[in-house]
Amino acid sequence: MTVLTDTDTFTAEWEAWHASRDAYFAEPHGWVAITSLHWLTAEPVVFDEFPGRWTAAPGQVLTIEAAAQDGLVLPDGDVVDGVSTLDPVEGGPGLRVRSGDLILEVARRTAHVIIRVHDPRAPQLAAFTGIPAYAPDARWIVTGTFEPFDQPRTVTTGAVVEGLEHHHTAAGTVHFELAGVAQSLVVFDGGARGLSVLFRDATSGVTTYPASRTLGLGALHDDGTVTLDFNRAANLPCGLTEFATCPIPPAENVLTVAVEAGEQWVR
């Protein structure tokens, strides 16, 4: 009978997390399957990849004109036959329109409506072999102290696409040490997704994705402490596709040390 040590359990749990990340990005209509990104305007446009005439002035709903035989299926299962409209939520998950094997993800980013084309036959998806990562190391698990704001604050950040903005609900600041150096990060409240941070560090643009990584925090304890396991520092979708519009961290969320843990740059 094999008895697992704490180290064995830590490694096994990290490997399960890493495998789930690889599986998520390898989904047939996932982030790695995106082949193009289109920005809609008030001028109706047609595309080579899929049927219909598509229109969306900034701040307006999306209008799709198509015949039933074009086979465009809306998120509710209805087939477009004439004119249909969609109104995606600003910054929210995209609405998925099906065109044969393709998923046309309709989303709103800084008032602009975009379409991302997800193709399960995308060459880059076939070539995807997983996300490189540092080997798990328990030394990168640290305890922080969470200092809540008196009231949640809205923090606006830029994005990997110039001119876009992201608006985050900031709950407070977490203070901790890495390699003996005091650090702090603004913490975002994702509701049901829990507390998380966006950050850059001295590995950004060297061994990790230049723009940002994200880290979900552990449970907040009664004494205000919280665990930060940097072994699970993860790429945002923009780290795996050029067709994402991910946020960048606020200026204060740049760590002064090299966090050689978590996911690395997918080049």
Q: Please write the tens of the pLDDT for every residue from 93-120.
A: 899 999 999 999 999 999 899 999 999 9
Are residue 144 and residue 122 in the same domain, yes or no?
Answer: no
Are residue 172 and residue 119 in the same domain, yes or no?
Answer: no
2-12 in b/e form (b: 16+ CB < 10 A) is eeeeeeeebbe
- pLDDT at residue 5 tops 80: no
- Count up the domains in the chain and report the number: 2
| 34-39 sheet: strands from edge to edge | 34-39, 112-118, 102-109, 95-99, 72-73
Q: What is the mean pLDDT of residues 224-240?
A: 96
pLDDT band for position 238 (cuts 50, 70, 90): very high
- pLDDT at residue 4 tops 60: no
Mean pLDDT (the chain) is 94
Q: For residue 193, what pLDDT is reported? A: 85
Q: What is the mean pLDDT of residues 131-156?
A: 96
CA–CA gap between residue 97 and residue 212 (Å, rounded): 30
Are residue 219 and residue 174 in the same domain, yes or no?
Answer: yes
Q: For residue 85, what pLDDT is reported? A: 96
Quickly tell me which residue has 């598509």 as its tokens.
54
Q: Which of 70, 101, 127 is the C-terminal boundary of a domain?
A: 127
Are residue 154 and residue 109 in the same domain, yes or no?
Answer: no
- pLDDT at residue 229 tops 50: yes
- What is the token pair recorded at 245? 């519009």
Are residue 76 and residue 177 in the same domain, yes or no?
Answer: no
pTM of the model: 0.91
- What is the token pair recorded at 122? 């995308």
pLDDT band for position 1 (cuts 50, 70, 90): very low
Are residue 214 and residue 135 in the same domain, yes or no?
Answer: yes
Q: For residue 2, what pLDDT is reported? A: 36
Q: What is the mean pLDDT of residues 211-220?
A: 94
**Residue 6 located in a structural domain:** no
Q: What is the mean pLDDT of residues 53-57?
A: 94
**Residue 256 located in a structural domain:** no
